[in-house]
Amino acid sequence: MSQTDPRIDWEAIERSPEFRELIGARRRFVLPATIFFLAWYIGFILLAGYAPDFMAESVYEGLTVGYCLALTQFVMVGVLGIMYLRRAERVYDPLADELARRALLPPPSAGPTGDAPQVPVR
């Protein structure tokens, strides 16, 4: 169900350095962040499963190690969520918007550069 826009050369864009830059920038954050949160989370459930006594130890009165570690999971979700949101707005969106803008411009050979009217989307 390819909704191909004939004006767009997808393979050329995919090969372009600008696209590689966008993918790379996103991956540099998302890949380590995903590995980190999965490791931290799975570490937490491994402890819950295999070290119940450690998790039940008291840190301060009724507050146990398990609840403290669970709390770090909540904090992790909030911090990673906000970090990704800010990076996306600052770094990825400008790169993606620029790529999209340029892809919809008519090719340079089609007319004089600079004042070619931009083709509206759809």
Partner 1 sequence: MTVIAATNVEALVIFAIVLSITLVITYWASKRMTGAEAFWAAGRSISGVQNGLAISGDYLSAASFLGIAGLIFIFGFDGFLYSVGFLVAFLTVMFLLAERMRNAGKYTIADVLAFRLRERPARTAAALGTLTVAAFYLIAQMVGAGVLVQALVGIDFSIAVLITGVMMLCYVIFGGMLATTWVQIIKAVLLMTGILVMSIFVLERVGFNPIELFNRAAENTTDESTFSLGPGTFLSSPIDTVSLGIALVLGTAGLPHILMRFFTVPDSKAARSSVVWAMFIIGGFYVLTTFVGFGARALLGEEGVAAAGTGGNLAAPNLAQFLGGGEGTFGGDLFLAVIAAVAFATILAVVAGLVLSASGAVAHDIWSNVIRKGQDSEHEEVLVARVAAASIGAIAIVIAIVGGEGLNVSFMVGLAFAVAASANFPALLLALTWRRFNTAGAVTGVLFGVISSIVLVIISPKVWPGPDGEGGALSFYDLANPGIVSIPLGFIGCWLGTMLSTERGNERQFAELHVRSETGLGAEKAGVVG
Among residues 3 and 112, whose Cβ is nearest to partner 1? 3
Per CB under 8 A, contacts with partner 1 among 62-91 are 62-64, 66-67, 70, 73-74, 76-78, 80-82, 84-85, 88-89
Instruction: Build a one-symbol-per-residue string for 90-119: x at contacts with partner 1 by CB under 8 A, - elsewhere.
Output: ---x--x--xx--xx---------------
Among residues 66 and 115, whose Cβ is nearest to partner 1? 66
Take residue 89 and report the two structure tokens written for it.
């707005």
Q: Rounding to the nearest 10 degrees, give the CA dihedral for residues 70, 75, 76, 78.
A: 130
| Packed helices 17-50 and 65-87: angle between N→C axes, nearest 10 degrees | 170
* By CB under 8 A, residue 21 contacts partner 1: no
CA angle 28, 30, 32 (to 5 degrees): 70
